[in-house]
Amino acid sequence: MNHPSDSPERSLRSVALDVVPADGAPARPAKTGPLATLPVFLDLAGREALVAGGTAAAAWKAELLAAAGAHVLLLAPLFELGEEARELLTCGPAAGRIDYADERWSAERFAGMAIAVCDADSEDEAEAFAAESRRHGVPVNVIGRPRWCDFRFGSIVNRSPVVIGISTDGAAPILGQAIRRRIETLLPPALAGWARLAAKLRPDVLKNLAHGGRRAAFWDRFADRTFSAHTPDAGDETDARRLLDALSRSPAAGGSVTLVGAGPGEAELLTLKAVRALQAADVILFDDLVSDDVLELARREARRLLVGKRAERESHRQEDINALMIQLAQAGRHVVRLKSGDVSVFGRAGEEIAALEAAGIEVRIVPGITAASALAAGFGISLTHRDCARELRFVTGHSRKGRLPEDLDWRALADPCATTIYYMGGRVAGQIAEQLIRHGLPPETPVAVAANVSRPDETRAAGRLDTLADVVASVGLDRPILIGIGRVFEQAARRASSSDSSPSDRMKADASIQ
Is 339 marked active-site? Answer: no
Q: What pLDDT sits at residue 112?
A: 95
Where along the chain do its domains lie? 48-153, 188-252, 255-369, 372-511
Please state the separation of Cα 66 from the chain's center in Å: 32
Catalytic residue, chosen from 309, 466, 505, 508, is 309
Between CA 169 and CA 471 the distance in angstroms is 53
**Residue 287 appears among annotated catalytic residues:** yes
Whether 372-511 and 255-369 are alike in CATH topology: the answer is no
* Interacting residues of 318 by C-beta distance below 8 A, sequence separation 6+: 309, 348, 351, 352
DSSP 28: P
pLDDT of residue 215: 78
pLDDT digit string (tens) for the chain, length 514 residues: 444 444 444 444 444 444 455 555 555 566 677 888 888 899 999 999 999 999 999 999 999 999 999 999 999 999 999 999 999 999 998 888 999 999 999 999 999 999 999 999 999 999 999 999 999 999 999 999 989 999 988 888 888 888 998 988 877 778 888 999 888 887 878 888 888 888 899 999 888 887 766 777 788 778 777 776 555 556 678 878 887 887 777 655 557 899 999 999 899 999 988 998 898 888 999 988 898 999 999 988 889 999 976 555 556 888 999 999 999 988 878 899 999 999 999 888 999 999 999 998 889 899 999 999 999 999 999 999 989 999 999 999 877 776 788 889 999 999 999 999 999 889 899 999 999 999 999 999 999 999 999 988 899 999 999 999 999 999 988 888 999 999 999 988 888 776 544 444 434 334 333 3
148 alpha carbon, distance to own chain's centre: 37
Cis check: omega of the bond before 161, within 30 degrees of 0: yes
Distance CA 53, CA 74 (A): 7
Phi-psi region of 137 (alpha: psi -120 to 50; beta: other; left: phi over 0): left
CB 208 within 8 A of CB 248: yes
Q: Tell me the CATH number for domain 48-153.
A: 3.40.50.720
pLDDT at 494: 85
Residue 235: the pLDDT is 64
**Which member of 287, 415, 470, 510 is catalytic?**
287
Provide the pLDDT for residue 315.
Answer: 66
Residue of 385, 511, 410 lying closest to 460 (CA atoms): 511
Is the pTM above the cut of 0.85? no
* CATH 3.30.1490.100 is right for the domain spanning 372-511: no
CATH number of 255-369: 3.40.1010.10
How far CA 314 is from CA of 307, 310, 311, 428, 451, in Å, comes to: 10, 7, 8, 20, 21
